[in-house]
């Protein structure tokens, strides 16, 4: 589903995100161990689902999860089996195309609550306690976006669907040989609003479809933001349509309604803590806008009152500094 640049980005994401996090990935290339893990997973499956269902998907097609921070755009099925009694929190980070959402299916799970076991499905991306999209930019309150549960499920299928192209399954399973089996699907999103960037080279278009809504394109790296097409606050979503080129206007927040495109950065994922570097509006089919955002996280936020049909097409290239990409200095 992803282009080559996306795989490169996922590596970039891993490097950057690992540098931020204290949790280190548990990486194992030991084949024997992996085999043992898939056997254990198969045992959980056999116990949970019966042999008949197990035959539907050959055992070797189940991907064992061995990295504590596991980023994927694939469908799985994935299995995780705890190898220790440690209370470590790990996560599966699902990231797909901007115009898709993430659907996570639980086939079975055995996560003992009385051993502090916990599963949490997050509608968004989590980093250091902050969630993208921010609460103010999401249609659902946080309590409806974080689904926590534990226990054991035999036949019951649990499904979660995200509102944007990113979702996370966090888990803490401090009991050997307990775990879960899941798979993912990536259905189309007809009106994407918040987007976690998956490409360092492809343009993205933020659009409000005439709605009163704020939408953010976020990249988890210091970015050079280029706006390659701009239509914000100009053409009405009502019957009268103005298509005059106004050029790129600054200081748009003095106007009413205050439809605008904010370009800024932050240390974490919370766009409420965004330092706005520039704020623009207008109709400009060839804007000459390039802003450097020397922050850990780069965001472009489209603020829409609902009186206009807004759109902005953006590329966020990484500002690459040697020490950020040198793994030796990352830890």
Ligand X SMILES: *[C@@H]1O[C@H](CO)[C@@H](O)[C@H](O)[C@H]1NC(C)=O
Question: Where does this chain bind ligand X (CB under 6 A)?
Answer: 136, 212-214, 303
Q: Shortest approach of ligand X to residue 234 CB, angstroms?
A: 18
Q: Shortest approach of ligand X to residue 69 CB, angstroms?
A: 31
Q: Which is nearer to ligand X, 139 or 285 (CB)?
A: 139
Q: Which is nearer to ligand X, 142 or 320 (CB)?
A: 142
Q: Which is nearer to ligand X, 6 or 214 (CB)?
A: 214
Q: Shortest approach of ligand X to residue 223 CB, angstroms?
A: 20
Q: Shortest approach of ligand X to residue 309 CB, angstroms?
A: 16
Rounded (5°) CA angle 284-287-288: 160
| Beta-strand runs (E) in 178-325 | 179-185, 195-196, 204-207, 214-219, 223-232, 249-250, 260-266, 275-284, 289-293, 297-303, 311-318
Residues 6+ apart with CB under 8 A from 50: none
Q: Which is nearer to ligand X, 6 or 279 (CB)?
A: 279
In the complex, which residue's CB is closest to ligand X? 214
Hey, CA dihedral for 80, 81, 83, 89, is it positive or negative?
Answer: positive
Q: Which is nearer to ligand X, 144 or 245 (CB)?
A: 144
Q: Shortest approach of ligand X to residue 316 CB, angstroms?
A: 20
Q: Shortest approach of ligand X to residue 304 CB, angstroms?
A: 8
Residues 6+ apart with CB under 8 A from 314: 203, 204, 205, 206, 217, 225, 226, 227, 228, 300
Q: Which is nearer to ligand X, 77 or 268 (CB)?
A: 268
Residue with tokens 């009268």: 240
Do residues 36 and 228 make contact, with C-beta atoms less than 8 angstroms apart?
no
Do residues 68 and 88 make contact, with C-beta atoms less than 8 angstroms apart?
yes
């Amino acid at each position: 589903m992803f282009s080559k640049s996306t795989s490169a980005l996922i590596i970039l994401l891993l490097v950057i995100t690992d540098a931020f996090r204290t949790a280190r990935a548990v990486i194992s290339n030991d084949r024997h161990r992996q085999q043992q893990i898939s056997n254990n997973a198969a045992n959980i499956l056999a116990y949970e689902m019966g042999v008949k269902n197990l035959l539907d998907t050959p055992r070797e097609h189940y991907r064992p999860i061995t990295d504590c921070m596991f980023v994927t755009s694939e469908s799985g099925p994935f299995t995780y089996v705890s190898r220790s009694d440690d209370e470590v929190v790990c996560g599966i980070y699902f990231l797909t195309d901007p115009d898709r959402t993430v659907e996570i299916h639980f086939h079975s799970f055995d996560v003992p609550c009385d051993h502090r076991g916990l599963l949490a499905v997050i509608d968004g991306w989590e980093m250091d306690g902050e969630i993208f999209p921010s609460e103010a930019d999401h249609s659902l309150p946080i309590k409806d976006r974080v689904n926590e549960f534990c226990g054991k499920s035999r036949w019951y299928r649990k499904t979660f669907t995200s509102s944007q192209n990113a979702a996370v399954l966090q888990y803490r399973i401090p009991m050997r040989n307990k775990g879960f089996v899941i798979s993912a699907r990536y259905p189309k999103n007809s009106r994407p609003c918040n987007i976690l960037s998956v490409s360092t080279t492809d343009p993205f278009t933020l659009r409000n479809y005439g709605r009163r809504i704020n939408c953010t394109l976020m990249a988890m790296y210091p970015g050079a933001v280029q706006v390659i097409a701009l239509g914000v606050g100009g053409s009405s979503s009502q019957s009268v349509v103005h298509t005059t080129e106004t050029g790129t206007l600054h200081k748009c927040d003095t106007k009413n309604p205050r439809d605008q495109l904010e370009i800024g950065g932050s240390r974490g994922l919370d766009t409420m803590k965004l330092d706005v570097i520039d704020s623009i509006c207008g109709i400009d089919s060839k804007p000459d806008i390039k802003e450097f955002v020397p922050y850990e996280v780069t965001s472009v936020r489209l603020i829409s009152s609902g009186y206009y049909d807004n759109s902005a097409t953006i590329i966020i290239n990484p500002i690459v500094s040697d020490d950020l990409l040198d793994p030796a200095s990352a830890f």
